[in-house]
Amino acid sequence: MGRGWGLLIGLLGAVWLLSSGHGGQQSSETAAQRCFCQVSGYLDDCTCDVETIDRFNNYRLFPRLQKLLESDYFRYYKVNLKRPCPFWNDISQCGRRDCAVKPCQSDEVPDGIKSASYKYSEEANNLLEECEQAERLGAVDESLSEETQKAVLQWTKHDDSSDNFCEADDIQSPDAEYVDLLLNPERYTGYKGPDAWKIWNVIYEENCFKPQTIKRPLNPLASGQENTFYSWLEGLCVEKRAFYRLISGLHASINVHLSARYLLQDTWLEKKWGHNITEFQQRFDGILTEGEGPRRLKNLYFLYLIELRALSKVLPFFERPDFQLFTGNKIQDAENKMLLLEILHEIKSFPLHFDENSFFAGDKKEAHKLKEDFRLHFRNISRIMDCVGCFKCRLWGKLQTQGLGTALKILFSEKLIANMPESGPSYEFHLTRQEIVSLFNAFGRISTSVKELENFRNLLQNIH
């Protein structure tokens, strides 16, 4: 059996052992089995199965998505990496060179991307840029049409409303800089130890839902806490359980990236990056993680389905004729919009989408409070990304949390999307360029993780 498949089987096996009460028994399974045997079949709280996701992602979606993300519109992301941590002051900055982020020089970013925050059309960009400038001065430019003035006021109101699940950077800040994501890839940087653990401990223990009667620690990172944690988790409603699974899936996806792009050799001649099987096993092997590894991988697939569903829902926004992936290069912009729509129609055709209608479907008052708690918890997590001591990790953490927050915003805006006009400004629902870039890049990271699981399964076939 393949090395990677063995790992998957092992993870699945560990989950079965835990659920059947035999978690303490030793297993003679291969390394591959200990990682992957539990990661197959149907996912909890879903009607979809892992095998369907693998086939759809790896052979139909992944290649086209990677091509789209290499385009100028999606490779440049504006981020403020100098925002102070809002929760504590004792941040130890990573001094390793692989933690550094190289921002773009001004002439490296296409003029069309720098010209405005919203990308619909060249004419709309010019109007919106003027209006944003006027608004910052405390006035509205009366030379703008009444329709445009109304749209800008509605957009500003919407951005400041409680519909956003992330606290986004102020991209007008002098500290905000464009970063070329292709030149600053997410990979292993050596950032680890107490500082890195503190981030995830705070995320799990302080921001995931839990009964007040339960005392810390209650996160699966704490040794010996797995059974206690999951017995508590299983008693939660589907929404709170889903919240934890989203965070766990994001954590798992990041760990897959770090294991797949690991610094294997560092000499004065060259650096060699590649798959570190040992690192992967330490994070996902069913035995080494006391049964936690398989659960992490299943949660990664759960996260994939959530973001896939959001992309299928937002298709009408991008189909509008006046929307452009505007960079200033009209030919490439048109080609990239065609590719984006092809990808979204492919996603729309996925046969086993997650059914979000079960979320917040109870008593109206309780559902509203639960949704608000859901949103506030996630906003808090987005703020924690400013506490990450490794700048490259902070970059990708901020991008991926904003991307997931944008996906949640889409899922909870279904009626607003359905009521959008076929052309012209959308008063009730819109996405900024920052949200669009983070949405697709975040999903691209998860898509890459699913693809890398196949690579690890193949590698693990050689371990006996």
> What residues are annotated to the active site?
390, 393
**462 HSE (CA, 13 A, CB side):** 5
Cα–Cα dist 440/171, whole Å: 19
Sequence-distant (≥ 6) Cβ neighbours of residue 51 within 8 angstroms: 40, 41
Run of H or E residues at 443: helix 433-460
Cα–Cα dist 402/382, whole Å: 7
Strands (E), 197-302: 262-266, 271-274
Sequence-distant (≥ 6) Cβ neighbours of residue 36 within 8 angstroms: 4, 5, 6, 7, 8, 9, 10, 11, 12, 294, 297, 453, 457, 460
Phi-psi region of 41 (alpha: psi -120 to 50; beta: other; left: phi over 0): left
Strands (E), 153-287: 176-180, 262-266, 271-274
Cα–Cα dist 387/398, whole Å: 11
Residue 309 token pair: 């569903």
Which of these, 450, 330, 436, lies nearest to 68 by C-alpha position? 436
Cα–Cα dist 214/207, whole Å: 14
- Residue 200 marked ligand-binding: yes
Which of these, 115, 375, 48, lies nearest to 239 by C-alpha position? 375
Q: SS3 sequence, 296-346?
A: HHHHHHHHHHHHHHHHHHCHHHHHCCCCCCCCCCHHHHHHHHHHHHHHHHH
Run of H or E residues at 251: helix 238-260
- Residue 448 marked ligand-binding: no
Cα–Cα dist 274/14, whole Å: 27
- Residue 296 marked ligand-binding: no
- Residue 189 marked ligand-binding: yes
**160 HSE (CA, 13 A, CB side):** 6
Under 8 Å between Cβ of 433 and 119: yes
Q: What are the binding residues for FAD?
A: 187, 189, 200, 248, 251, 283
Q: What are the binding residues?
A: 187, 189, 200, 248, 251, 283
